């Protein structure tokens, strides 16, 4: 056995071929600080080297887009001189190693992305995936991640208004913690991150720099997890929401006073990433003096300072004449502010340690010259994921199936989770969790925005292209139920190791499905995130593209709700159940069926017509409730409408309808006066009233039994 230690570049995650390319471009060996910087900027997390080519397929233009991909967050116009900034990002690997801080700092990071463009954060949503809750590890990760999200969001005063949780065996070792944030900004306060103006001053704002988070982008976010993960805990950042609150208010006041040239969040790869990306976007150089960086710990080496991922820090460019004003505002907010460098016209990133040059690199080699890889996709020849254990007999009655579905971890009430979050702080929340398919927030002019976050890894695992498209359609369907027109979309693409052909196939097909759905709906992608290498020795996670979508509705007082609202109302079915599929369904999981496709073809014309019909009916007040048919099919959707409104229903279904087939984004249950429901595209299938859900010739259950099943589903695991 060889005892030769691995080359220093391999220890830092660079391949031999990548290191040879660095030597060729530099014409010399990189120094220690330079190699540390390059290893992070050339990591999967920062360079997107296995996904950047694919992402070019996504449509990014639209009439409402104010800022698209490339900035800290995308921004769409909502009228009256206001923009909504939003983005979703992952903190998966840190959360698998240290779930409380991993999830908490995931929230802190996405908040900074939003106020980095000049927007005040007004809402958080989260998309979470864990192993089966029967697992002690999964229960621990769930408990601590939820606590971390609540801790940060509640402390900083930003409401958590929505989200989703799924439990699947494939996430046992690789939980997913995706956080989405929205912010509100007047157009004139929006700012970009490009550094500009040689001679301008680089000012570091916020917390002290320490050794926490060193190597997070490469150690945690760009490799598979395995044995020894506990040793990676020092790579997980530590968050302080109270420091971030002061930093947030400080940055917004600086922007209101027009004191900043540009602003950038310090996230993955710390100063290295933020400074070099600012320089690249502005086509300038930067000199950074690490000797001026305020430190939490003495004796930090230059490379440690440059790659530290300590939280609650921002980097800004300031004209020399305005530096004193900037420092005065920062003192008012008790936010540390330190000039640490200058903008140059050199096109180089120089790291100084007083009079010593610790690094001197072309900006291009850090940001633009990392090789982009072509994937080698190949569809798997056999199922990738083992069949789950059956918990429901094949001969179970429809009534037994419905009760089992409502009690199952993936469909049970999320109340034990979301009650740990404050959904109404800031007093904008019109619809909170379990009141509507989308969260709704009021805007100052009386209109509102609706927000939804969606994804279904099980269905994407069955058929990556159609499953990913379904996630887009379902997100849009949720907005339609609130009465909102989609304005823009963000995404977080969570996949396994892209160097493996079957994962490359999942990723390639999923991006194509998202692109096709966005083009069909006319919804641009304004930003997003990619999280790869979510894989353990047992195999990859389900391919999990998570979609976040924002829409606008003209009247906040007419925001839709999902619960039946009035006895005697007619119940209508909008859209089609004809393409319903048992593949990848919750019922198939309960029956222990193998995850396999394909999923049915998608009729885009029918989907758009259904969305338009529901959106019009909700926004004009013709219906009292609207709910999309998704997991568990029509039977579960009807039960959810009954439970949310505390009203029963008597329903008769056309013979061709399979009550548990799933049709994400294709069909809706609406209720209202019958004379308002009758019309093209709507089929009357029942009437609201009583204390039971009675589906003719299928099942007849008391609401109390349905309520008991759904409310107790997660209680035993939290």
Structure tokens that stand for 43 in this block? 């990591």
Instruction: Answer whether the bond into residue 662 is a cis peptide, omega within 30°.
Output: no
Q: Estimate to the nearest angstrom the gap between the alpha carbon of 263 and the chain centroid.
A: 22
The residue annotated as part of the active site, out of 9, 45, 502, 627, is 45
* Interatomic CA distance for residues 506 and 510, integer angstroms: 6
Contact 694, 648 (CB under 8 A): yes
45 is catalytic: yes
Give me the torsion for CA of 140, 146, 152, 157, rounded to 10°: -160
Any idea what DSSP says for residue 96? H
Task: State the pairing for strand pair 485-494/448-454.
Answer: unpaired
Contact 546, 492 (CB under 8 A): yes
Structure tokens that stand for 407 in this block? 């009690």
* Interatomic CA distance for residues 558 and 572, integer angstroms: 19
Residue in the structure block whose two tokens are 């290191």: 19
Q: Which of 13, 18, 47, 53 is nearest to 507 (CA)?
A: 53
Structure tokens that stand for 510 in this block? 């999923």
> What distance, in Å, lies between the first and last C-alpha atoms of the chain?
48
Contact 498, 507 (CB under 8 A): yes
Contact 220, 93 (CB under 8 A): yes
Distances in Å between the alpha carbon of 625 and those of 73, 162, 564? 33, 19, 6
Q: Estimate to the nearest angstrom the gap between the alpha carbon of 617 and the chain centroid.
A: 29
Task: State the pairing for strand pair 485-494/525-531.
Answer: parallel
Q: Which of 233, 191, 226, 286 is nearest to 105 (CA)?
A: 233
* Interatomic CA distance for residues 549 and 545, integer angstroms: 13
* Interatomic CA distance for residues 569 and 624, integer angstroms: 8
DSSP letter string over 119-179? PEEEEEEEEEEES-TTSHHHHHHHHHHHHHHHHHHHHHT--EEEEEEEE-GGGSSS-EEEE
The residue annotated as part of the active site, out of 50, 64, 91, 627, is 91
Contact 503, 452 (CB under 8 A): no
* Interatomic CA distance for residues 50 and 500, integer angstroms: 11
Strand order of the sheet with strand 65-67?
Answer: 65-67, 74-79, 82-90, 176-186, 120-130, 160-167
* Interatomic CA distance for residues 199 and 346, integer angstroms: 11
1 strand-pairing partners = none
Q: Which of 260, 258, 259, 288 is nearest to 273 (CA)?
A: 288
64 is catalytic: no
Task: State the pairing for strand pair 313-318/201-206.
Answer: antiparallel
Q: Which of 715, 691, 685 is nearest to 705 (CA)?
A: 691
* Interatomic CA distance for residues 223 and 412, integer angstroms: 33
**Pure H helices in 653-702:** 674-677
Residue 381 makes CB contacts below 8 A (sequence gap 6+) with none
* Interatomic CA distance for residues 625 and 603, integer angstroms: 25
* Interatomic CA distance for residues 433 and 670, integer angstroms: 19
* Interatomic CA distance for residues 43 and 21, integer angstroms: 14
Residue 228, sorted as left (phi over 0), alpha (psi -120 to 50) or beta, turns out to be left
Give catalytic residue positions: 45, 91
């Amino acid at each position: 056995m060889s005892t030769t230690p691995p080359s220093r570049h391999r220890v830092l995650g660079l391949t031999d071929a990548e290191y040879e390319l660095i030597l060729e471009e530099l014409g010399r060996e990189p120094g220690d600080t330079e190699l540390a910087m390059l290893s992070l900027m050339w990591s999967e997390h920062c360079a997107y080297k296995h996904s950047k080519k694919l992402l070019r397929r996504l449509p990014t233009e639209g009439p409402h887009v104010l800022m698209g991909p490339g900035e800290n967050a995308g921004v769409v116009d909502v009228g009256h001189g206001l923009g909504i900034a939003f983005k979703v990002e992952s903190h998966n690997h840190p959360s698998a190693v240290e779930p409380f801080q991993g999830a908490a700092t995931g929230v802190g990071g996405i908040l900074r992305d939003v106020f980095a463009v000049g927007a005040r954060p007004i809402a958080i949503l989260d998309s979470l995936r864990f192993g089966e809750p029967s697992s002690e590890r999964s229960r621990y990760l769930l408990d601590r991640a939820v606590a971390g999200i609540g801790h940060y969001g509640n402390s900083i005063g930003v409401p958590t208004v929505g989200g989703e949780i799924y439990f699947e065996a494939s996430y046992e070792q690789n939980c997913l913690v995706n956080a989405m944030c929205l912010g509100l900004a007047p157009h004139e306060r929006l700012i970009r991150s490009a550094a500009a103006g040689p001679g301008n001053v680089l000012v570091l704002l916020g917390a002290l720099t320490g050794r926490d988070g060193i190597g997070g982008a490469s150690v945690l976010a760009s490799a598979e997890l395995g044995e020894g993960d506990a040793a990676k805990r020092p790579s997980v950042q530590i968050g302080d929401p109270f420091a971030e609150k002061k930093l947030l208010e400080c940055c917004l006041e600086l922007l209101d006073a027009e004191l900043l040239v540009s602003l950038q969040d310090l996230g993955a790869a710390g100063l290295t990433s933020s400074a070099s990306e600012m320089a690249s976007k502005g086509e300038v150089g930067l000199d950074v003096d690490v000797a001026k960086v305020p430190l939490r710990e003495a004796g930090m080496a230059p490379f440690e300072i440059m790659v530290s991922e300590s939280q609650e820090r921002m980097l800004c460019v300031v004209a020399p004449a305005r530096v004193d004003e900037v420092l005065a505002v920062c003192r008012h907010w008790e936010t540390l502010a330190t000039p640490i460098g200058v903008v140059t016209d050199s096109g180089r990133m120089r790291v100084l340690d007083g009079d010593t040059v610790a690094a001197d690199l072309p900006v291009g080699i850090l940001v633009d010259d990392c090789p982009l890889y072509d994937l080698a996709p190949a569809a798997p020849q056999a199922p990738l994921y083992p069949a789950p254990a059956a918990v429901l007999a094949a001969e179970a009655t429809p009534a037994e199936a419905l009760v089992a579905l409502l009690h199952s971890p993936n469909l049970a009430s999320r109340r034990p989770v979301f009650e740990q979050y404050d959904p109404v702080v800031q007093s904008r929340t019109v619809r909170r969790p379990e009141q509507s398919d989308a969260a709704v927030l009021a805007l100052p002019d009386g209109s509102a925005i609706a927000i939804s976050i969606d994804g279904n890894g099980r269905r994407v695992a069955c058929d990556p292209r159609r499953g990913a498209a379904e996630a887009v359609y379902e997100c849009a369907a949720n907005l339609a139920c609130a009465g909102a027109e989609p304005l823009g979309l963000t995404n977080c693409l969570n996949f396994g190791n892209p160097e493996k052909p079957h994962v490359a196939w999942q990723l390639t097909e999923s991006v194509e499905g998202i692109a096709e759905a966005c083009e069909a709906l006319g919804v641009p992608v304004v930003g997003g995130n990619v999280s790869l290498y979510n894989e353990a020795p047992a195999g990859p996670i389900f391919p999990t593209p998570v979609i976040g979508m924002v829409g606008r509705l003209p009247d906040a007082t007419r925001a839709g709700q999902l619960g039946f609202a009035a006895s005697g109302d007619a119940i209508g079915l909008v859209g089609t159940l004809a393409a319903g599929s048992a593949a990848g369904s919750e019922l198939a999981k309960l029956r222990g069926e193998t995850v396999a496709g394909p999923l049915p073809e998608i009729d885009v014309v029918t989907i758009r017509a259904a969305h338009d019909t529901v959106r019009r009916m909700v926004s004009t007040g013709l219906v009292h409730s609207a709910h999309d048919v998704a997991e568990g099919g029509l039977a579960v959707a009807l039960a959810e409408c009954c439970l949310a409104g505390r009203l029963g229903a008597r329903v008769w279904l056309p013979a061709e309808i399979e009550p548990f087939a799933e049709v994400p984004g294709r069909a809706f249950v609406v209720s209202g006066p019958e004379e308002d429901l009758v019309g093209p595209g709507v089929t009357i299938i029942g009437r609201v009233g009583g204390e039971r859900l009675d589906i003719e010739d299928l099942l007849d259950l008391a609401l109390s039994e349905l309520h008991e099943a759904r409310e107790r589903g997660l209680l035993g695991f939290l």
